[in-house]
């Protein structure tokens, strides 16, 4: 199917999946766009509006996002688990204080457009990132960022989107 806002999409169990190239931190990234829905889902006007509003503000919102991701890493994740050996710990938890260091450590993978029932309080979008710190990520516990009306609401593990 081809949607006027999302472009070419394929149907998957949890909704619709498409691809988009977006700029993140000055670098073009190929990301998946997941429009959540149930088995007979239709893409709603609310979902289209949420995505369009988010993408319109995306260029200006990246500085805040990068700052918040650095803060989250340093205050929430860094040294919260992992090896007890000091040298191993340094490998697991690199110093991330700058935009450049963060952009080396995270990859924007997916933009998730929430289902309508999740938008009762406003337009909800999630960003999902993989990350290079904390050892091998066998459980895919990368970073999830929840946006409500184009403002960061919460940062945590990817599962905040599901």
Residue-wise DSSP of 117-155:
GGGSSS-EEEEEEEES-SS--TT---EEEEEETTEEEEE
Give 124 or 87, the one with higher predicted confidence. Answer: 124
What would the pLDDT profile of 29-53 be if each residue is shown by its tens digit?
Answer: 999 999 998 666 789 999 999 999 9
d(CA 132, CA 67): 17
Contact 37, 43 (CB under 8 A): yes
Q: Is the pTM of this model over 0.85?
A: yes
**Residue 30 exposure: Cα atoms within 13 Å on the Cβ side:** 2
Q: Which long-range contacts (CB under 8 A, 24 or more apart) does 149-154 make?
A: 149/53, 149/122, 149/123, 150/53, 150/54, 150/57, 150/61, 150/123, 150/125, 152/64, 152/65, 152/68
d(CA 24, CA 53): 17
Contact 51, 138 (CB under 8 A): no
Give 55 or 140, the one with higher predicted confidence. Answer: 55
């Amino acid at each position: 199917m081809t949607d006027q806002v999302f472009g070419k999409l394929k149907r998957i169990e949890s909704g619709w999946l498409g691809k988009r190239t977006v700029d993140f931190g000055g670098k073009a990234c190929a990301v998946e766009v997941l429009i959540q829905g149930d088995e007979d889902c239709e893409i709603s006007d609310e979902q289209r509006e949420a995505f369009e509003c988010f993408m319109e503000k995306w260029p200006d919102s990246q500085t805040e996002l990068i700052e918040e991701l650095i803060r989250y890493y340093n205050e929430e994740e860094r040294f919260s688990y992992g090896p007890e050996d000091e040298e191993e710990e340094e490998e697991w938890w690199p110093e991330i204080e700058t935009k450049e260091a963060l952009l080396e450590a995270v990859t924007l993978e997916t933009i998730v457009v929430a289902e309508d029932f999740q938008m009762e309080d406003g337009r909800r979008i999630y960003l999902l990132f993989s990350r290079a710190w904390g050892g091998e990520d066998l459980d895919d516990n990368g970073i999830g960022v929840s946006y409500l009306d184009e403002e960061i609401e919460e940062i945590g593990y990817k599962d905040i989107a599901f």
